[in-house]
Structure 1
Amino acid sequence: MAYDELRSLIAELQGNLERRQLDAAVPLLSKAKRTLLQLNTLIPSTSTPQPLLSLAREVLELGAITSIRQQDAAAFTRYYQQLQPFYDAERHLQSTLGSSAQIDLTTSQRSKITGLYLLLLLSMGNNTDFHTVLEGLVVEASLKGYNVEDDPYIKYPVELDRSLMEGSYDKVWRETKSERVPSEDFGLFSSILVGTIRSEIADCSEKAYPSLPISNAKNLLFLDSEGAVVEFAQARGWLLKDGRIYFPQQEQLQADQAQKDISSASATIIENAIGYARELETIV
């Protein structure tokens, strides 16, 4: 009975996600997870029946996709972590039982969810965890005799990482806008990544230039219009005047340096004056 209920809930969930009906998907997801809890299957064990293992993994994968479409990166991360024991259990069963293992891997979204997690780590600037996860995938792929980048879901974040390491931000921008994006679910984390890059460029610009023409800033920051540049500049507290952006931080640095120069010059004058007075006292 529980198996049939889970299959029915999974089918409903998939239908709601296909129709973008997230409000209807959320209560179904909660109900499916309660069912897994009652069956003691939210965490797999050696006693978990193989068919139930696949159904539980499907529920959590659908939860991960739902969280992405709700733009909830924290919830997606929790689902990713919950799924790892299920993926490990299925890999173990495959390796030990081979073709006799009754595991339905045709429904598995492991590749997609792992690629999305890599993209999330990249967008957060978490290079350490990104490369830790990737190294594990490379080892697993080599043991099975294939290249990890044969998988388009994994290849996409890996190529973005290479471009970032090269400083080719324009290439990253093009990749996030191209048809090579593996699926629309990658769009959310891609936009977060571009936002992170934009902030880094803005930080560097504040330190490198006293001002920039708005037209140049549009291309530099990968923004679609000069109006978008104005909004971005105002949000960062930049000054706009006569078609240019002026960086307050740079102006403050220049003012601080000028004050420092004045203070240094004043100290030198005072020191010279004291020395001169001492010389007069000696003469007298």
Structure 2
Amino acid sequence: MSSDLRSLVSELRTTLDRHQLDSAVNLLSRAKRTLLQQNALIPTPSTPPQLLSLAREVLELGALTSIRREDAPSFTRYYQQLQPFYDAERHIEATTGGVDLSTSQRSKITGLYLLLLLSVGQNTDFHTVLEGLVVEASLQGVSVEDDPYIKYPVELERSLMEGSYDKVWRETKSERVPSEEFGLFSNVLVGTIRREIADCSEKAYPSLPISNAKNLLFLDSEGAVIEFAQERGWILRDGRIYFPIEPEAPGAQAIPGTRSEKDILVASGTVIENAIGYARELETIV
């Protein structure tokens, strides 16, 4: 049975390399049925190390297949299924050395999961996962940023927190993207950036020229700007975008210790001023 499973894993690898995703899904189903028959879909202390590694590889290939099919919920399920396998293999390696971790794609899968969390704005979960990695790395005397798969989403998150949207945009387009799977998140992540900039724009300015908004929002054409503006409920007139104004409630008073509307506008204005500067620089690139 193990030889059959090894053949399935080898075929699955080849199929995924060729981007034959429908075939990969069928092979995954067969491989998981085989694992189920051997009670290896969930690791136990009695699971042989070789079978443990094969099961882990099946799930990793499943995770990568899900990414390429742009199926985030499926990828998340595979990520969660993989955690007990990673724990079991690390325990065996630490105590007996009886498992080969050289084939493990834990680093890549974890980096992709961090990027997924970042792309959909789940910042709390992002930092929870990252803190666990930092503790583990410190115990080994290394830094999480020594790993390019982890460093990539960490640097993107840092740039987002700084409001350096141009850095994020550049990184998603650069050759520093660790692998093809990471590149698939570009549209989602740039969409997150676009919404952040749009939110700040609404607070900072009464209006913006459509021509400025194109580069500011990382859109390909003024037509795309118009479509995006309509989705946000912005008003288009005379080549400009006018942002809706939300009136303050009558008699509203500032709460001590909180930021006033003026403070928010000033802070947002600073972000947008920087972003407009970046947009002008990007005109030389786009």
Bin for the TM-score computed over the shorter chain: 0.7 to 0.9
Ranges of 4+ aligned residues in structure 1 off by more than 3 Å:
none
* Secondary structure of 1:43 counterpart: coil
CA drift of 1:136 comes to 1.3
Once the 2 structures are TM-superposed, how far is the Cα of residue 6 of structure 1 from its aligned partner? 0.9
Query: 2:242, 2:79 → 1: CA distance?
Result: 43
- Greater RCO (CA < 8 Å, at least 6 residues apart): 2
SS of the residue 2:185 aligns to: helix
Which has more radius of gyration? 1
Counterpart code for 1:40:
N
1:50 equivalent in structure 2: 49
**Matched position secondary structure for 1:240:** strand
Provide, for residues 79-114 of structure 1, a one-character-per-residue CA deviation record: whole Å limited to 9, x for no partner: 00000000000110111113xx1x232221111000
1:8 is matched with 7
Superposition map of 1:143-182 within 5 A: 143-182=139-178
> Retained in 2: the 8 A contact 1:32–1:59?
yes
Hey, what does 1:270 align to over in structure 2? none
Q: Gapped runs of 5+ residues in structure 1? A: 262-284
What secondary structure is seen at the aligned counterpart in 1 of 2:241? strand
TM-score computed with the length of structure 2 as normaliser: 0.83
| TM-score, scaled relative to structure 1 | 0.84
What SS class does the counterpart of residue 202 from structure 2 fall into? helix
Measured in 1, the distance between the counterparts of 2:164 and 2:34 equals: 48
Task: Find the aligned partners of 2:150 and 2:231 in 1 and give their Cα distance.
Answer: 34
Identical counterparts, % of pairs: 78
Instruction: Give the drift of 1:260.
Output: 6.4
Measured against aligned partners, the alpha-carbon deviations of 1:19-63 in whole angstroms (never above 9, x if no partner) come to 111011111111111111111111000000000000000000000
Aligned equivalent of 1:121: 117
Partner AA of 1:198 in structure 2? R
Match for residue 272 of structure 2? Answer: none
Question: For residues 233 and 83 of structure 2, what CA distance do their matches in structure 1 show?
Answer: 43
Partner-residue secondary structure (3-state), 2:86: helix
Q: Quote the Cα distance in structure 2 between the aligned partners of 1:78 and 1:189.
A: 18
Find the aligned partners of 1:232 and 1:187 in 2 and give their Cα distance: 23
Shift of 1:3: 0.6
Cα distance in 2 for residues equivalent to 1:25 and 1:163? 36
Q: Which moved more, 1:218-227 or 1:25-34?
A: 218-227
Out of 212, 225, 230, the residue aligned to residue 229 of structure 1 is 225
- Count of matched residue pairs: 251
Q: What is the letter of the counterpart of residue 15 of structure 1?
A: T
Equivalent residues of 1:119, 1:190 under 8 A apart: no
After superposition, the C-alpha distances for 1:124-182 in whole angstroms (9 at most, x for unaligned) are 22222111111111121122222211110000011111111211111111111111110
Matched residue, 1:202 = 198
Give the alignment partner of residue 236 of structure 2, picking from 240, 244, 249. Answer: 240
Partners of 1:83 and 1:223 in 2: how far apart? 37
User: Which amino acid letter does the alignment assign opposite residue 90 of structure 2?
Assistant: R
Q: Once structures 1 and 2 are overlaid, which stretch shifts more, 237-246 or 65-74?
A: 237-246
Q: Distance in 1 between matches of 2:166 and 2:207?
A: 22
In the alignment, structure 2 segments of 5+ residues that lack a partner are: 252-286
What CA distance in whole angstroms lies between the structure 2 residues aligned with 1:160 and 1:172?
Answer: 6
